[in-house]
């Protein structure tokens, strides 16, 4: 705006000079022997004065222009600095975005791990629910045995079988997880023969319950807690010469449950 004003002033001055110069030129042409012109000349601004003023003005303008240029240069350098800053900020932003993305990936990994652990815990918790209780399924009272050799007692009347670790078709319990298990069995029988059963783990004798023949019905029972590895088997064996009742009222039973995981 300042420049424009200065330019306009300069233009006006230039116009004035042209007019004055033209008039002066006219005077110069008329100069020889024109006294009236000399009087007129004193009323007009002196060309040299005008030129001096113009020179001063131009110098002033030049200084102003120089100042403006300097200002512009300063602005430009500031702009460049701002641009540089913006670039740095952008780089930082991109780095932050990358970090955020990395953290998101890490988080999703962690989430997956946690979910996996939850699933495992759920499975473990599910596996930790192990309990069975069974007797003989019969339509009328009878006895099983006596036999010459030992047999596995198959309790095919199932009260509960949480975790399905007990097989009512074979009479064999298979530990689904490593842990401490508790077993109990009760044997009832008529008195004509001895009655009892042995508890075996993986085919090896662990405990026994037995009662000799008697004038009346006989009872015997046993209980044991065992630490089992996953896959270990437990069953009841009826010894040779002994029998057990298989009555409709279920006097003889075999039960077991997982106490806790190991």
Residue 45, token pair as written in the block = 């601004």
How far is residue 51's CA from residue 215's CA, in Å, rounded to a whole number?
155
How far is residue 202's CA from residue 213's CA, in Å, rounded to a whole number?
29
Is residue 171 a contact partner of residue 244, using CB atoms and an 8 Å limit?
no
- Bridge partners for 199 per DSSP: 207, 236
CB of 198 to ligand NAG, least distance (A): 20
User: Closest CB to ligand NAG among 155 and 181?
Assistant: 155
CB of 188 to ligand NAG, least distance (A): 5
Q: Which residues here bind ligand NAG, judged by CB under 6 A?
A: 188, 216-219, 251
How far is residue 135's CA from residue 155's CA, in Å, rounded to a whole number?
5
CB of 195 to ligand NAG, least distance (A): 10
CB of 213 to ligand NAG, least distance (A): 11
CB of 221 to ligand NAG, least distance (A): 10
User: Closest CB to ligand NAG among 238 and 258?
Assistant: 238
Burial of 121 per CB tally in 10 Å (0-12, 13-18, 19+): exposed
How far is residue 188's CA from residue 12's CA, in Å, rounded to a whole number?
136
User: Closest CB to ligand NAG among 23 and 217?
Assistant: 217
Is residue 145 a contact partner of residue 244, using CB atoms and an 8 Å limit?
yes
Provide the angle, in degrees to the nearest 10, between the axes of the packed helices 47-127 and 2-30. Answer: 160
How far is residue 173's CA from residue 43's CA, in Å, rounded to a whole number?
136
User: Closest CB to ligand NAG among 54 and 138?
Assistant: 138
CB of 249 to ligand NAG, least distance (A): 9
The residue with its CB nearest to ligand NAG is 219
User: Closest CB to ligand NAG among 178 and 213?
Assistant: 213
User: Closest CB to ligand NAG among 128 and 219?
Assistant: 219
């Amino acid at each position: 705006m300042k420049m424009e004003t200065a330019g306009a002033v300069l233009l006006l001055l230039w116009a004035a000079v042209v007019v004055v110069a033209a008039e002066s030129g006219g005077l110069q042409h008329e100069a020889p022997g024109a006294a009236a012109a000399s009087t007129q000349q004193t009323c007009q601004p002196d060309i040299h004065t005008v030129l001096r003023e113009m020179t001063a003005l131009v110098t002033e303008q030049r200084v102003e222009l120089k100042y403006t240029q300097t200002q512009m240069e300063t602005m430009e350098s500031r702009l460049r600095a701002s641009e540089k800053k913006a670039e740095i900020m952008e780089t930082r932003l991109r780095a932050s975005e990358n970090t955020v993305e990395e953290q998101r990936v890490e988080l999703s990994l962690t989430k997956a791990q946690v979910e996996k652990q939850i699933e495992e815990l759920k499975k473990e918790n599910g596996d930790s629910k192990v309990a069975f209780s069974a007797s003989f399924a019969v339509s009328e009272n009878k006895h099983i045995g006596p036999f010459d050799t030992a047999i596995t007692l198959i309790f095919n009347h199932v009260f509960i079988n949480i975790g399905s670790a007990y097989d009512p078709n074979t009479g064999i319990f298979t530990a689904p997880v490593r842990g401490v298990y508790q077993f109990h069995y009760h044997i009832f029988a008529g008195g004509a023969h001895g009655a009892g059963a042995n508890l075996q783990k993986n085919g090896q004798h662990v405990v026994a319950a037995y009662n000799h023949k008697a004038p009346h019905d006989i009872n015997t029972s046993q209980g044991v807690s065992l630490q089992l590895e996953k896959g270990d088997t437990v069953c009841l064996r009826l010894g040779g010469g002994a029998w057990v009742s298989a009555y409709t009222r279920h006097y003889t039973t075999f039960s077991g449950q997982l106490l806790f995981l190991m």
